[in-house]
């Protein structure tokens, strides 16, 4: 029962932080969906269903945190490239600060207990 | 190249589209298009594509219901209303029964109550309701009355069907044999029509639970 709750909590945390991981991946360069998914999937445990990235990207676009442009591809049909907006960049910066504090605070207690 | 991988992808995308039904249309098509693009990209990278490769790609994307649940969550969309209101209830059953045989139980009124229930229900769309109403007023009542009139030799019932062929049959008590045949055919058609309509409405009830809001 406790394990189930823990799984649910981790799933929620993953889901809540995923959008900032996406924003961070877009911080330096434009990327298209498949490329983004591939990068996220390289890090184990971040994305369980790759398909869920696309509703997230759609939402970010509608919230004005990313914008998109279609570009021709050499290997097939045009791709939709995602790019951070100014609002997206400041959302990412704000999260980075909060996340750092949160992570340090949790570490402070959890690590002390473990050690 | 086998067509099976294409079929798998097609089936997956269709399933996804159905699962995303609760989302606004533009968002739904955006997500489905992007996932279709993802699959195409992933397949393009493969050198020799096998069915297993395609299955792995689809599995990596996740089950459509999971993606849809995530998407509803992202867009703050409540999961389908249909669960409660479209439950096939006693009202729909009563509507179908009364449309068919209501006119036999209480002439005219029995059928009319069936029509009212049909229009009150949310289980059918307007087109279905119109079909249910015009094919055929009175349900089985009309043709059966027609048969009785025909059998007893009264001209009234025959005249209704003969109106379509005024040149061929006169409204006489004796009735020509051509007139009789036409009458019988018309009555059988009138008998079959409400049965077909009822079967159609019952089919729509089972297979299109979320068809209508009208």
For chain A, what are the domain ranges? Answer: 2-114
Containing A101, the helix (H) or strand (E) segment is helix A86-114
Is A56 within 8 Å of B74 when comparing Cβ atoms? yes
pTM across the whole model = 0.59
Q: What percent of chain A is modeled with pLDDT above 70?
A: 97
Q: Is the separation of the CB atoms in A86 and A92 below 8 Å?
A: no
Res. A111: pLDDT tops 50: yes
Chain A positions in Cβ-Cβ contact with residue B41 (cut-off 8 Å): 32-34, 76, 79
pLDDT digits (tens, 9 = 90+) for A21-62: 999 999 999 999 999 999 998 887 788 899 999 999 999 999
Token pair, residue B4, equals 């099976």
- Domain A2-114: give its CATH code: 1.10.10.10
Q: Which residues of A103-115 are buried (b: 16+ CB within 10 A; e: fewer)?
A: eeeeeeeeeeeee
DSSP reduced 3-state for A70: strand
- pLDDT score, position B158: 47
| Residue ranges for chain B with pLDDT beneath 50 | 154-162, 169-173, 211-214
User: Cα(A50)–Cα(A53) distance, rounded to whole angstroms?
Assistant: 6
Chain A positions in Cβ-Cβ contact with residue B37 (cut-off 8 Å): 33-34, 77, 79-80
User: Cα(B95)–Cα(B101) distance, rounded to whole angstroms?
Assistant: 10
Which stretches of chain A sit within 8 Å of chain B by CB? 15, 32-34, 37, 41, 48-52, 54-59, 62, 75-77, 79-80
- pLDDT score, position A50: 94
Dihedrals phi, psi of A66, to nearest 5 degrees: -130, 160
Minimal Cβ distance to B31: which of A50, A58, A79: A58
- CA-closest candidate to residue B46, choices B34, B32, B57: B57
- pLDDT score, position B87: 60
Token pair, residue B178, equals 């051509």
Chain B positions in Cβ-Cβ contact with residue A41 (cut-off 8 Å): 60
Res. A66: pLDDT tops 60: yes
The H-assigned helical ranges of chain B are 4-19, 25-45, 51-61, 64-74, 90-97, 103-105, 109-120, 126-134, 141-151, 155-162, 177-207
């Amino acid at each position: 029962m406790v394990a189930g709750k823990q799984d649910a909590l981790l799933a929620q945390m993953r889901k809540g932080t995923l959008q900032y991981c996406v924003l961070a991946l877009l911080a330096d360069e434009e990327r298209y969906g498949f490329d983004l998914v591939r990068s996220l999937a390289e890090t184990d445990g971040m994305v369980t269903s790759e398909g869920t990235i696309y509703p997230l990207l759609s939402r970010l676009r509608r919230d004005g945190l990313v914008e998109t442009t279609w570009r021709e591809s050499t290997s097939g049909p045009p791709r939709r490239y995602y790019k951070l907006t100014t609002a997206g960049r400041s959302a990412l910066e704000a999260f980075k600060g909060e996340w750092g504090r949160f992570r340090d605070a949790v570490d402070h207690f959890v690590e002390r207990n473990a050690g | 190249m086998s067509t099976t991988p294409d079929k798998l992808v097609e089936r997956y995308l269709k399933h996804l589209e159905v699962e995303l039904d609760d989302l606004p249309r533009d968002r739904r098509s955006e997500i489905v298009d992007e996932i279709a693009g993802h699959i195409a990209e992933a397949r393009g990278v493969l050198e020799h594509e096998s069915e297993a490769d395609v299955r792995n790609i689809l599995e990596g994307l996740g089950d459509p219901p999971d993606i849809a649940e995530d998407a509803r969550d992202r867009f703050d969309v409540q999961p389908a209303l249909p669960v409660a209101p479209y439950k096939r209830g006693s009202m729909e059953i009563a509507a179908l029964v009364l449309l068919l045989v209501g006119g036999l139980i209480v002439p005219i009124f029995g059928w009319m109550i069936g029509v009212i229930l049909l229009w009150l229900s949310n289980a059918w769309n307007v087109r279905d309701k119109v079909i249910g109403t015009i094919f055929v007023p009175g349900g089985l009542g009309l043709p059966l009355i027609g048969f009785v009139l025909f059998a007893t030799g009264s001209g009234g019932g025959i005249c209704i069907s003969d109106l379509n062929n005024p040149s061929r049959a006169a409204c006489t008590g004796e009735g020509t044999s051509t007139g009789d045949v036409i009458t019988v055919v018309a009555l059988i058609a009138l008998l079959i029509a409400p049965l077909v309509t009822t079967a159609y409405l019952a089919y729509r009830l089972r297979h299109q639970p979320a068809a209508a809001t009208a």
